[in-house]
Amino acid sequence: MKKAIFALAACALIFASAACTCGNRNTKIPDENHDADVVDECPDGAVDLGIVMTREDGTTYRLYWAKSNLSEEGLCPNPEDYGDYYAWGETETKREYSLGTYKWCKGSGNTFTKYNSDSSFGTVDKKIVLDASDDVAHVKLGGKWRMPTFEEWTVLREQGVWIRTSQNGVNGYKLTGPNGKSIFLPAAGRRDDGPILGNAGSHGYYWSSSLGLVNPNYARRVYFSSFDVYRDFDSLRWLGFSVRPVTE
């Protein structure tokens, strides 16, 4: 009888231990990019799509993508929520997104005061990636949250599967990563000179943290329509676009 009770207790202990392990976010995940000692610590509000990036020094890091767009209150509660719109390098919303209201110039395209490598366009600082203080995702969310670089968007574009779809009646794209997990990007449109929201429901415009290649009037972004996803384009940096944060 004592042996039977001991066996039942041991089984219960094993079952409880297994149940706890399944619910733990800090689970070791050995795969082709990680050895058995790498720990998955996917933050709240993020999804691990299986994207591994390599830094210039050769070290690697796993990139986690937010489940939803950014708003003034933080991450939106639902993946299909449009969120708020931000000019590149600005951390607050506004009524009008124009050159005249842009924070980092003095009213014209040749009077930039930050993020510029050409003296004919204003003050030169040779910055090509947003400082943390000008990165709205980092400012709103803190920690390691930030806007994705253009390189990180490119890797997601190349390694992920993008499918045009709708979620709860909202058009957009479902992005599935190499590990089979996915996020949804709503076609949230954009804001520019006036309060009218342009192209909502058909187009999505998402900033990266990288300055444009043409001249400092532009910053790098990912753009999609009802027909395709485009990543080799820059946009005027004072326009109001969506932000999908990332973290490490």
**For residue 43, is it within any domain?**
no
**For residue 79, is it within any domain?**
yes
Which structural domain range is residue 96 located in?
66-247
Per-residue pLDDT of the chain (248 residues; tens, 9 = 90+): 444 444 434 434 333 333 332 222 332 233 444 443 444 579 999 999 999 999 999 999 999 999 999 999 999 999 999 999 999 999 999 999 999 999 999 999 999 999 999 999 999 999 999 999 999 999 999 999 999 999 999 999 999 999 999 999 999 999 999 999 999 999 999 999 877 899 999 999 999 999 999 899 999 999 999 888 987 789 999 999 999 999 99
**For residue 174, is it within any domain?**
yes
**For residue 236, is it within any domain?**
yes
Q: What is the pLDDT of residue 217?
A: 97
What residue type is assigned to position 4 of the chain? Answer: A
Q: Which two tokens stand for residue 86?
A: 């931000």
Report d(CA 120, CA 112) in Å as an integer.
9
- Give pLDDT tens digits for 120-139: 999 999 999 999 999 999 99
What secondary structure, in 3-state letters, does the chain show?
CHHHHHHHHHHHHHHHHHHHHHCCCCEECCECCECCCCEECCCCCEEEEEEEEECCCCCEEEEEEECCCEECCEECCCCCCCCCCECCCCCCCCCCCCHHHCCCECCCCCCECCCCCCHHHECCCCCCECCHHHCHHHHHHCCCCECCCHHHHHHHHHHCEEEEEEECCEEEEEEECCCCCEEEEECCEEECCCCCEECCCCCEEEEEEEECCCCCCEEEEEEECCCCEEEEEEEECCCEEECCCEEC
Q: What is the pLDDT of residue 233?
A: 82
Taking residue 127's Cβ as centre, other Cβ atoms within 10 Å add up to: 15
The number of domains in the chain is 1
**For residue 36, is it within any domain?**
no
**For residue 8, is it within any domain?**
no
Q: Which two tokens stand for residue 166?
A: 């709708």
- Give pLDDT tens digits for 82-97: 999 999 999 999 999 9
The reply to whether the predicted model has a pTM over 0.95 is no
Report d(CA 169, CA 248) in Å as an integer.
31
**For residue 59, is it within any domain?**
no
What residue type is assigned to position 31 of the chain? Answer: D
**For residue 33, is it within any domain?**
no
